[in-house]
Amino acid sequence: MKAPTRIVLFAGLASTLVVIMAGMGGLLDGFEWWSQDQRFLHARRNSQPLGEGVALVAIDDRALDTIGRWPWSRDVLSMALDEIAIAGARTVASDVLFTDVQSASADAALAAGIGRSPTVLAVNMDEGRMDATIWLSAEGRQALSALVTAIAEDITAEPRVIADRAGLQGVRRDRFLERSTNFKKLAAWKELLRLRNAGTPPADAQVYRLLLTKQDATLENFAERISVNEAFDRDESFALLARFMSASKGEGSAMDAPPLAEFSERAAGVGFVNCAPDRDGQYRRVRPFWRTPYGSLPQFGLAAGLLQLGIAPASIREEPDALVFPDGRRLPLDNGRIYVYWPTEMFEAIGGSVTSTEARTETGVIAIGALIDLANQRKLLAEQERRYRELGADIAAAQAIPIESMSAVPVADAVRAAVKEQGEFIAGDLSVRGTSDIKDGTDAERKQVGTYREWWRLDQEIPASRKRIADAAEFARAHLKDRLVFVGFIATGVMADMINTVNGPRTPGVYFHAAVADMVISSQSVYLWAPWTGWIIGAVFGLICAVIAWKSGAGISTAVTFSIVGAWVLLSGFLAFEIHNLMIPVAVPVLAAIASQAASVSTAAVVNQREKARITRQFRARVSPQLVERLAANPDALSMRGEQRTATILFGDLAGFTTISEKLGSEAVVATLNLYMSAMANELTERRAYVNKFLGDGLLAFWSAFEPEPEQGQLAAEACRACQRVVKAIGERPDRQSLPKISLRLGVATGSVTIGDCGAPPDLNDYTVIGDSANLAARLESANKQFGTAILFCGTTRALIHDSGGLPIVSLGRVVVVGQSVPIDLFTMLVEDPQAGWIESVGRAVEAFAKADFAACATAWDAHEQAFGVTKITVPFREALADPADKRDGVLRLRAK
């Protein structure tokens, strides 16, 4: 159903605007992010696994079960790093924080391991959140600076003394007194930064402690000592890491956690590992650099990827929309952040040792337990070889074999044969372990037996050990050689490092960094269109859907809307991403189209429902119930601005009603009028007429009011006789016998008229008919008085009466009615069947007049009156015959109404 008002269009456009405003305000970000996730999950038909240049050494559940609870001794981690280096890894990225001292020996072992391979270390940065209304305003920054200065004068002073010294008042004073320890940590760090920026950093922690305690060397253990030492160590570490940062600086936090300085000194790179999720709690993007007081710290995955490529982070140029590499490559940014491109396949979690089938995979993953097991096997082999040589020296001395012959591991075959022969002579079966089977002999003899048997066992085991180690090392090389190797947690227990990503709510955090590194290495990126493109597209879609809903209705607009939405989802959600890695906005365009169409259709439904109600109220008493239903279902049939149409118009008037109204009271007059009008209206509406007006004691009705009525002439003729009968029936009722008789005059004309809502719509309007044919119908009703007839209609109407055999219709010739200048063919229809010959008699007289045979006409009327008596139908003709001016062309001209 087409909506009849522009409010439908406005509703769709308003809904579009609301959606766009919601998009601008970030209210639709969740839907947009979800659509982006779906593209990663479902839009790529071909497998796009993580690049071969990235591998993972996984700290998994099995490693925690076999090696022990975390944290492990750092010399164990050093063993794993050494195995990674032996396997030929080009770069190692350790997604493990080393911020606290463990033990001197363990830390030294790990530092050495870091130094033996190019290793990127992790830094955990803290946002340094402070109450913006208290400390981050201009006044707040000034107060904080004064507070730091006051603390630096003597960090051991009482908080109230410091607050007084800094001049703190009100809420700032209260906040400091509540958290004085945190502010002292902050001051210890900021004072270090001030000294470093001034070019006078303290030589060591002891010097710095003296600076913050008024040079009081007697203070050894004071409450703030740990905070001062931590600040110094943190500053020292960051100063060492500054060589991996670009020059751009910013503010940091006293809670930033770099590695220990001895690790930072040996590192080959550094990156921050923490990032903030989107508002829905999912991690999709990360800032590329974190500006610290020491320089811009690269993101961990970015730093690892750059080191793998041999690119210094300082050589990366950061533009608003991209990171620009020295070779011209660009890594696109989304609002200054890297949008992570997730491969279709990441790593697989495995455990066990490298010699087990469970540890073998083609996904570039090795369990850290496998590498530690390999390192332990190397240690065991070294011990076996040492013992083998030691025992060989004893055997060489006993058998007088040259010592150098027994130094090789393993010995030559000839030497082995000689040793075996002598050993079997002395010890019997060399495969027996120990000497428990030797019952006789001295201790020296039993010791000699044990020496031969142990040497022989080692001689057999060492080749097998070497084979196992060689296989394991080859496996490690196959997966790690020349690769960027991440070391990180995939364990699911209490040490789980899990984040929510497109791959699920428990994605190992190291996967996130690996994906970023792979973007750097493989130049695989996501290109996001700016949000404003979605707003423009949404506006276009909303406009299209609103116009179509306004013009075409619910059915077509729904089909078009879903076609637009489907095509856009296919284009932007699948094809663009699959082919070009384009992430085109979906939320605003899709929701704008749907909301626009839904709002337009809903508004149209409301408007149409109100229109139906209005139509029902306006027309239910004026047309048949069936026609009311049709109008309500199709309000477009009502022409609001006027429509040219051929219609049959009926005017009726109750003759004699004025006389009755003079005898009856006002209430009785109204009741009587209502009685007659209601009866006639029923007869008319039953024959599909539209009863337009009640004009005092008259009425106006017409056919083809809402659509062409092909039977309108026939229906009008039948309605005329029906109305005459019902008026007569009312007059014959017993309760009406004392009243003057009422008769009905009807005039019917057919022609082209204007039909529409006239007046002052929508409040004061009248759905009516305007035109010459309407005027003619009124003239014909009045002309009944001249002819003494009850029903008159024009020739056009007569031509539409196809069933005239049963209707007493009589032609009155060509007539010019009062108020008209053009003659018409005029017909009357008798209410009652006439006497035999009456119609033929009138016809002869009328025909003679029409032929301008006025003498024959007068004779015919005389004969008619002799046969049927004097009737009023002859009067207009006799008046014309008596007036020479009318005796000219056979057209009867009426003189009075």
The tokens for 547 are 């116009």
641-785: CATH topology is Alpha-Beta Plaits (3.30.70)
Q: Which of these ranges, 227-236, 350-359, 611-620, has the smallest mean pLDDT? A: 350-359
Domain ranges (residues) in the chain: 7-47+527-611, 49-125+257-384+477-523, 129-197+204-213+228-255, 385-476, 641-785
Give the separation between CA 512 and CA 514, rounded to whole angstroms. 5
Closest by CA position to 304, among listed 271, 342, 328, 351: 271
- CA 774 to chain centroid, in Å, comes to 59
The tokens for 277 are 């999720």
- The one-character DSSP state at 334 is B
For the full predicted model, state whether its pTM sits above 0.95.
no
Q: How many residues does this entry show for the chain?
A: 897
Residue bearing tokens 């015959």: 881
Pairing between β-strand 791-794 and β-strand 824-829 as defined by DSSP bridges: antiparallel
- The one-character DSSP state at 825 is E
91, 485 Cβ separation under 8 angstroms: yes
- pLDDT tens per residue, range 248-291: 888 888 888 999 999 999 999 999 999 899 999 999 999 999 99
- pLDDT tens per residue, range 287-312: 999 999 999 999 999 999 999 999 99
* Residues 6+ positions from 119 with CB-CB distance below 8 Å: 81, 91, 92, 93, 94, 266, 267, 268, 269
- Indicate the Cα dihedral angle 817, 823, 824, 827, nearest 10°: 60
* Residues 6+ positions from 284 with CB-CB distance below 8 Å: 33, 36, 277, 278, 339, 340, 501, 502
Closest by CA position to 260, among listed 230, 237, 244: 237
- CA 47 to chain centroid, in Å, comes to 26
- pLDDT grade for 382, boundaries at 50, 70 and 90: very high
Give the separation between CA 730 and CA 671, rounded to whole angstroms. 13
Which amino acid type is present at position 601?
Answer: V
- pLDDT tens per residue, range 723-749: 999 999 998 888 877 788 889 999 999
With vertex at residue 768, the alpha carbon angle to CA 766 and CA 769, rounded to the nearest 5 degrees, is 155
**Mean pLDDT value across residues 865-875:** 91
716, 650 Cβ separation under 8 angstroms: yes
- CA 492 to chain centroid, in Å, comes to 33
pLDDT above 50 for 1: no
Q: Which of these ranges, 154-163, 491-500, 515-524, has the smallest mean pLDDT? A: 491-500
pLDDT of residue 400: 82
pLDDT of residue 2: 45
- pLDDT tens per residue, range 668-719: 888 888 898 999 999 999 999 999 888 888 999 999 988 899 999 999 999 9
Which amino acid type is present at position 225?
Answer: R
890, 810 Cβ separation under 8 angstroms: no
What phi, psi does 364 have (nearest 5°)?
75, 30
Return the SS3 of 325: coil
User: For all residues of the chain together, what is the average pLDDT?
Assistant: 87
How large is the C-alpha radius of gyration of the chain?
Answer: 54
- pLDDT tens per residue, range 169-205: 888 899 889 888 888 888 888 888 888 888 888 887 7
pLDDT of residue 108: 95
